[in-house]
């Protein structure tokens, strides 16, 4: 009798130990980010998009953009803001929401897998190093990928978070936020 119980338990153990990896292929945060954490991540990320968009406006200002060291400093600051966006993205990526809403996987594919976010990072870094000589071409390239791909993907993140928060939290309603566009995205 005793040996039957032991062998049954041994048979069940492999099933139990593989149950969780079958359900989730990636590590989820424990504890989960709270509704407040997710809401804060959206507003911080949005604020960073505003700082970068402001730089992209100013860097090609027809009334006189910053030049020389001022341009290098402004570009370095925008580069830092762009990188900071990844901290807020990581908060959202660590939430169950990232598994549950297919918009996150799609937006992440655009931003990370296709390398569009990194193109923006590299363009800003290039201006912060090489300044005036690369300014116009880099701003054009950044605006091109950012207006058409990066900012719409960030909007998808924000929409997914707002829908999630409205479903799970009583502190709402949570408005859907959008990434801040530079003037170039309107043309
Ligand atoms: C985003 O894409 C990268 C690279 O393809 C992948 O390693 C990561 O797990 C993805 N994150 C999410 C939240 O989908």
Q: Is 94 in the pocket of ligand 1 (CB under 6 A)?
A: no
Tens-place pLDDT, residues 143-170: 999 999 999 999 999 999 999 999 999 9
Residue 8 has pLDDT above 50, yes or no: no
Q: Is 86 in the pocket of ligand 1 (CB under 6 A)?
A: no
Q: Is 105 in the pocket of ligand 1 (CB under 6 A)?
A: yes
Only one residue has tokens 């801040």, namely 180
Protein residue with its CA nearest to atom 9 in ligand 1 = 26
Q: 52: CA distance to ligand 1 center in Å? A: 23
- Percent of the chain exceeding pLDDT 70 equals 84
Q: Is 156 in the pocket of ligand 1 (CB under 6 A)?
A: no
Cβ atoms of 127 and 67 within 8 Å: the answer is: no
Q: Is 108 in the pocket of ligand 1 (CB under 6 A)?
A: yes
Tens-place pLDDT, residues 71-102: 999 999 999 999 999 999 999 999 999 999 99
Q: 137: CA distance to ligand 1 center in Å? A: 29
Cβ atoms of 65 and 59 within 8 Å: the answer is: yes
Cβ atoms of 172 and 165 within 8 Å: the answer is: yes
**CA gap 103, 130 in Å, rounded:** 36
Greater pLDDT, 107 or 17: 107
The string of DSSP codes covering 78-112 is HHHHHHHHHHHHHHHHTSTHHHH-HHHHHHHIIII
Question: What ranges do the domains of the chain cover?
Answer: 44-186
Residue 3 has a pLDDT of 44
Tens-place pLDDT, residues 32-75: 999 999 999 999 999 999 999 999 999 999 999 999 999 999 99
Only one residue has tokens 């939290």, namely 169
Only one residue has tokens 């549950």, namely 100
Q: What is the pTM of this model?
A: 0.85
């Amino acid at each position: 009798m005793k040996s039957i119980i032991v062998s049954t338990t041994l048979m069940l153990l492999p099933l139990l130990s593989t149950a969780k990896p079958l359900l989730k292929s990636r590590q989820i945060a424990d504890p989960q980010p709270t509704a407040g954490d997710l809401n804060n991540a959206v507003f911080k990320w949005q604020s960073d998009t505003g700082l970068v968009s402001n730089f992209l406006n100013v860097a090609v200002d027809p009334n006189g953009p910053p030049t020389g060291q001022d341009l290098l400093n402004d570009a370095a600051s925008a580069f830092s803001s762009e990188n900071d966006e990844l901290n807020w993205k990581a908060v959202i990526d660590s939430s169950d929401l990232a598994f549950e809403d297919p918009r996150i996987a799609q937006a992440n594919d655009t931003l990370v897998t296709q390398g569009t976010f990194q193109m923006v990072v590299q363009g800003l870094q290039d201006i912060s190093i090489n300044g005036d000589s690369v300014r116009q071409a880099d701003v054009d390239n950044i605006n091109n990928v950012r207006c058409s791909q990066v900012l719409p993907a960030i909007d998808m993140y924000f929409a997914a978070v707002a829908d999630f928060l409205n479903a799970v939290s009583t502190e709402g309603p949570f408005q859907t936020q959008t990434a801040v566009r530079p003037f170039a995205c309107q043309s």
